Structure 1
Amino acid sequence: MTELGTILNGHRDHREGTRLPSLLIATRHGESTANVEFKHADATGALTVPITSRDADIPLSMRGQAQAQALGRWWAALPAADRPRSVWCSPYLRTTETTRIALAQASGLGAVPVKIPIRQDERLRDRELGILEMLTKAAIDKEHPAEATRRRRMGELHYRPPGGESWLDVALRVRSLLRDLGEEEDGRPVLVVAHDCTVLMLRYILDRLTEPELLALDPVRNCSASRWRADCGRLRPDGWNDTGHLDRPGA
């Protein structure tokens, strides 16, 4: 087991040579067109949403683009030592758009080079929902009542829809990603652009949360900033789900 692997599995490791980013910043993509449609469907009880593309091809809404610009301005305003030197990004369109817009904003303000390393990694993709993909809550209750009951009984951490993933399945790929990220970004600040479940699993792993602690968290907000800073051989929390930068003028 690697030294970072030992840390991620709950054992403090004080040996020299532990490889960690100096600062890990994680954000969820900006608001997507699907976020808008599903919010409306949940409020009205609609059975369908007007989305025909693959989940991977869903773009940002206009508001999501503005949120990504605000994230870029926040990035530019960070202390120089904390500004990410690279980006690890989900390959989905809404995350790559968020990355592109935020980087353009930050580089336009002279805070980061126009070209910094951007790594698209499939382990940061959104949770796969299998037969429940693109179904509203009302549609799941109507078309898959047994699955809706099983989901409520098992809880989101353990529930795996047919053909899809549980939160714990996502956690397994996030653990793998963190080992590689530590090796490649040792001593440097890095930005991760991903999805709500992926960012939740980062916190679950790094902060060693219990299931009740995890389920008590608020949803991860679009273009929020969550941070972990290297300290004594471990990434320790330094801010969670912050959105103050989205409330500033121009956001």
Structure 2
Amino acid sequence: MGNSSTKLKQINKSDTNNNNNDINILSPKSIDRRTKYSMNKLRLPKRIILVRHGESLGNVDELAYCSMPDWKIPLTEKGKEQASNVGKKIKEIIGNNSPISVYLSPYIRTKQTFALMIKELSNNNVITVREEPRLTEQQFGNFQKAEDMIRYKKERGQFGRFYYRFPDGESGLDVYSRVSSFIGTLFREWAKEQSTRSNHEDNNIIIVTHGLTLRLFLMRWFQFSVSEFENTRNPNNGDIIVMNRIKFDVNMNETLSDQSCIDTLLYSDHFILDNYVYEKLNIKHKTIVPLERSIVINDIERIVSEAEKGYEIASDINS
């Protein structure tokens, strides 16, 4: 009995060096996969805007945490003014009549920031507003004693911000894990919206959250290493970080070796940060890396170096 594989033309070395583009043997599975990706790529929203809440009572008086739960800490008057300015800054970026989807931490200070921000965006089409517990601040425990927190933060500086776990609280890694889960939810929702809403790709995603959570969101999205994260710093209260959508181009990213790499991605574009963000947050990593790729060749030297000598924890610690 003849084997169906004998019907396929055998390609020898000389065949692979000629210019006959018709010679290409792919399994049916490979053909289906490429066809699916090329025909049904996910378009990402126009931009993601990350917002750190305005100045809170806890930012000016850490003793507030001794008598008030972290989630109840309100904005100061200065923080309220910052929140209004957030809305004005976003309006300058997106204009009027732009679709908006908002995700916010359910803490009082982020709710207040949202409430004042959204007043400045009343002429825009708000599609979704959702409280998202995965966007909350790192959990530092329950009621916090000032002397204990001073000791814990000193320990964290020695141990490492990403891995240190506060007693009865979370580590940076814990926050990273829930932020990663949230990003997965975003992609599922975008895929659903693409099939049900014609202007999905014009949408502006606004995420109102906390300083550390914001940095861990960026770490996950742009695949910063742990050592790179350790050296980042918080944006100021009321700062916004804008991630603008671009179309993938192999010439823009040395980690993508050729167009075929882009052709197999599940989506056709990605987000970049403005240059000022890297300086503001002390981010050294500027390579555009798709979320589907967990490691790039340029990381190998860094990983080997860190394995051999370790890396220094940033001395300028901020939560």
TM range (shorter): 0.7 to 0.9
Asked whether the 8 Å contact 1:33–1:60 carries over to 2, the reply is yes
Cα displacement (A) at 1:84: 5.6
Amino acid paired to 2:128: P
Cα distance in 2 for residues equivalent to 1:82 and 1:17: 26
**1:134 counterpart = 2:149:** no
CA contact (8 A) 2:99 2:127 kept: no
Displacement of 1:50 after TM fit?
7.3
Q: Counterpart in 2 of 1:154?
A: 159
* One-letter code aligned to 2:56: S
Instruction: Measure how far apart 1:209 and its partner are.
Output: 1.3
Matches within 5 A, 1:1-251: 16-18=40-42, 20-38=44-62, 48-49=63-64, 52-80=67-95, 85-107=100-122, 110=123, 112-113=124-125, 116-130=127-141, 134-136=144-146, 138-141=147-150, 147=152, 150-185=155-190, 187=201, 188-231=203-246, 232=248, 233-238=269-274, 240=277
Gaps of 5+ in 1: 1-13, 39-47, 244-251
Change (3 A) 1:149 1:198: closer
Flag structure 2 segments of 5+ consecutive residues without an equivalent. 1-36, 191-199, 249-268, 281-319
Cα displacement (A) at 1:73: 0.9
Q: Counterpart amino acid of 1:218?
A: R
CA contact (8 A) 1:23 1:227 kept: yes
Ranked by relative contact order (alpha carbons within 8 Å, sequence separation 6 or more), the top structure is: 1
Query: Matches of 2:72 and 2:219 in 1, distance apart?
Result: 27
In structure 2, distance between residues paired with 1:60 and 1:241: 27
TM-score under structure 2 normalisation?
Answer: 0.59
1:78 is paired with a residue of what secondary structure? helix
State whether residues 65 and 145 of structure 2, in contact with CA within 8 Å, keep that contact through their aligned partners in structure 1: no
What letter is aligned with 1:121? E
Q: Distance in 2 between matches of 1:121 and 1:159?
A: 24
The separation in 2 between residues aligned to 1:84 and 1:97, in whole angstroms, is: 21
232-241 vs 23-32, greater mean Cα deviation = 232-241
- Between the two proteins, the alignment pairs up a number of residues equal to 211
**Is the 8 Å Cα contact of residues 57 and 64 (structure 2) preserved in structure 1?**
no
The amino acid of 2:177's aligned partner reads: L
Change (3 A) 1:237 1:51: same
Are the structure 2 counterparts of residues 235 and 179 from structure 1 closer, same or farther at C-alpha, using a change threshold of 3 Å?
A: farther
Q: CA deviation at 1:52?
A: 2.2
Moved more, 71-80 or 158-167: 71-80
Contact 2:65 2:144 in 1 (8 A): no
- Residue type of the partner of 2:61? E
The CA deviation at 1:89 is 0.4
What is the deviation of 1:151?
Answer: 2.4
The offset of 1:242, in angstroms, is 9.7
Q: Distance in 1 between matches of 2:96 and 2:222?
A: 23
**1:35 Cα deviation from its structure 2 partner:** 0.9
Moved more, 234-243 or 222-231: 234-243
Give, as a single letter, the amino acid of the residue that structure 2 aligns with 1:26. L
Cα deviations by residue, 1:46-103 (Å, 9 ceiling, x for unpaired): xx44752211111110000000111111122124499561100001110011001000
Partners of 1:199 and 1:82 lie apart in 2 by 27
- 1 CA distance for matches of 2:277 and 2:80? 22
Shift of residue 210 of structure 1? 2.0
RMSD over aligned CA atoms reads: 2.7
Alpha-carbon contact 1:21-1:181 (below 8 Å) kept: no
Whole-Å separation in 1 of the counterparts to 2:51 and 2:187: 18
Kindly tell me: are residues 200 and 176 of structure 1, through their superposed partners in 2, closer, same or farther at Cα, counting changes over 3 Å? same
Is 1:87–1:190's contact at 8 Å kept on the other side of the alignment? yes
